[in-house]
Structure 1
Amino acid sequence: MKTEVNNITLHYKKTGKGKPLLLLHGNGEDLHIFDPLADRLKKDYTVYQIDSRNHGNSSKTDDYSYQSMAQDIFCFIKDLNLTDVSVVGFSDGAIIALMLAIENKELFRKMILLGPNLKPTDFKKKEYNYLTQQYEKTKDPLIKLMLEQPDINPEELKKIQNPALVVGGQYDIFYRKVFTDIANTIPGASLKIVKRHDHGSYIIGSDMLYEDIKGFLQ
């Protein structure tokens, strides 16, 4: 399915019935990373898997910014007249969810942030250096996005009013302190560290978090 929002076309997949649940993927991916998870969540929710701009089958643009990506999702919610919306965001998707929740206190019922970061300096040094080398080789604007953005003031997290679950991998690309600080700053947020997993192995093409997500969203 497709919809025109914010002067671009967003491609998405809609399944199930119940309260709306958005699934937002990470950098360089598409909506299909959530297929196994969505297949189970659709029993209780109307699931919207969305391709971000410059990803999947959504519009390709010259605008690579989290602010624009967040505005796309805000417009998507309004365009489809969705209410009582929850969101699961992975990596870039978690950044988008954070930015939206900071600016729009009534937008989300609940949110689950998988592998979020607030600044490029949240990358472990080895990971940041690797990304820098890859960008020098490829000049990929998606890599540049991660090296330069986001720039979220931790104090802004205190504005978030919806319940939040923060999840990180034991061997994540971001420092553990990033996840603990986010969870400790968002009022009432919970934290889960997935043992023996890296940044994406517990979510990309996996339904292993289904019980955690279902339990939190109830």
Structure 2
Amino acid sequence: MKHAIAILLLLITLPSVAQIRYGSNPAAGKYYAVNGVKLYVEEYGRGKPLLLIHGNGGSIEAFSKTIPYFAKSRRVIAVDSRAQGKSVDLGDSLSFEQMADDFAALLTTLKLDSVDVIGWSDGGINAILLAMRHPKKVHSFVSTGANLTPDSTALIPASWKDMQRIYAADHNKPRTTAKEKNDWKVFMLDMLQPNIPMSALQAVRCPALIVAGDRDVIVTQHTVAIQQHIPGAQLWILPNSGHATLIDHADEFNRKTDAFFRAK
């Protein structure tokens, strides 16, 4: 009887998948020093490696509906981008190229030659740049909600105007704390970047799936242009979806991206 009670208590105290706090899980988390910054990484599962890259101002937590699905069959490597989440970056500027190089350096540190990648929003931009700048590191990638320019040709007018308003109202405000400075640095990343010529996408040589919602903050024509400029890339516009494709349509997104990776 005592043995049965002890087992029951153990099961009660073990964290279930639903209780795991992705992005704040010490059992899975570790810091890696790369390119002068400290990247916070959580790993789950075993198998073929899959790198997950979140959006602007986000963290690993954004993949709370992605990690459990893929960790059943794959080694999932979820990263807080520099200056975001738990990652530490003391520099005064930020670029997508820096972050792409960070991920490449991380993969080298982990002794991984090539991985599949899922990137959302800014992470989708990072996925594209990682494939461009470090082609041997990317086997295939899914990029959802990515843009190549920080203007109204890529962002829907309302979103672009919101950013302009925030900049106009706040750019002269004093920022005295480290958090205030860091938050502004992260905001300015999307205000001024990325600046990737469509023609440069010809450098991508791996399989790519370009994704967006039909009500995304990214202009649909811009998403289509990205797909058309990447040799052999596939396009998926999710109906009845905004920017958060992998959250609001998690089951469909996971199945579709999994099938894409398995076919490559």
Task: Establish whether residue 129 from structure 1 lines up as the match of residue 161 from structure 2.
Answer: yes
**Structure 2 gaps, min length 5:** 1-29, 172-183
CA contact (8 A) 1:37 1:206 kept: no
Shift of 1:138: 4.0
Provide Cα deviations, 1:60-116, integer angstroms capped at 9, x if missing partner: 332221111111111101111112301000111111111121122222111000111
Mapped to 1, the partners of 2:31 and 2:127 lie a distance apart of: 21
User: Residue 191 of structure 1 corresponds to which residue in structure 2?
Assistant: 235
Mapped to 2, the partners of 1:204 and 1:196 lie a distance apart of: 13
User: Residue 25 of structure 1 corresponds to which residue in structure 2?
Assistant: 54
Mapped to 2, the partners of 1:84 and 1:104 lie a distance apart of: 10
**Cα gap change, 1:42 to 1:13, in 2 (>3 Å):** same
Instruction: Give the secondary-structure state (helix, strand or coil) at the position aligned to 2:65.
Output: helix
CA contact (8 A) 1:35 1:205 kept: no
After TM superposition, list the pairs within 5 Å mapping 1:74-85 onto structure 2. Answer: 74-85=104-115
Instruction: Give the secondary-structure state (helix, strand or coil) at the position aligned to 2:112.
Output: coil
CA contact (8 A) 1:11 1:58 kept: yes
After TM superposition, list the pairs within 5 Å mapping 1:42-191 onto structure 2. Answer: 42-61=71-90, 62-121=92-151, 122-139=154-171, 140-191=184-235
User: Residue 217 of structure 1 corresponds to which residue in structure 2?
Assistant: 261
Instruction: Give the secondary-structure state (helix, strand or coil) at the position aligned to 2:99.
Output: helix
**Cα gap change, 1:194 to 1:205, in 2 (>3 Å):** closer
**Structure 1 gaps, min length 5:** none
Mapped to 1, the partners of 2:33 and 2:88 lie a distance apart of: 10
Shift of 1:125: 1.8
User: Residue 181 of structure 2 corresponds to which residue in structure 1?
Assistant: none
Mapped to 2, the partners of 1:204 and 1:141 lie a distance apart of: 26
* Identity over aligned pairs, percent: 30
Task: Give the residue type in structure 2 aligned to 1:8.
Answer: V
Q: Say which one has the larger Rg.
A: 2
User: Residue 63 of structure 2 corresponds to which residue in structure 1?
Assistant: 34
Provide Cα deviations, 1:122-172, integer angstroms capped at 9, x if missing partner: 112221111111233344322221121011011111111100000001111
Instruction: Give the secondary-structure state (helix, strand or coil) at the position aligned to 1:128.
Output: helix
Instruction: Give the secondary-structure state (helix, strand or coil) at the position aligned to 1:36.
Output: coil
* Counterpart pick for 1:8 among 23, 37, 40: 37
**Cα gap change, 1:192 to 1:103, in 2 (>3 Å):** same
Mapped to 2, the partners of 1:8 and 1:206 lie a distance apart of: 33
Instruction: Give the secondary-structure state (helix, strand or coil) at the position aligned to 1:106.
Output: helix
Task: Give the residue type in structure 2 aligned to 1:128.
Answer: W
CA contact (8 A) 1:160 1:186 kept: yes
Task: Give the residue type in structure 1 aligned to 2:45.
Answer: G
Higher relative contact order (CA 8 A, sep 6+): 1
CA contact (8 A) 2:148 2:198 kept: yes
Q: CA RMSD in A?
A: 1.4
Give the TM-score normalised by structure 2. 0.79
CA contact (8 A) 2:100 2:127 kept: yes
Aligned length: 217
Shift of 1:206: 6.1
Task: Give the residue type in structure 2 aligned to 1:156.
Answer: A
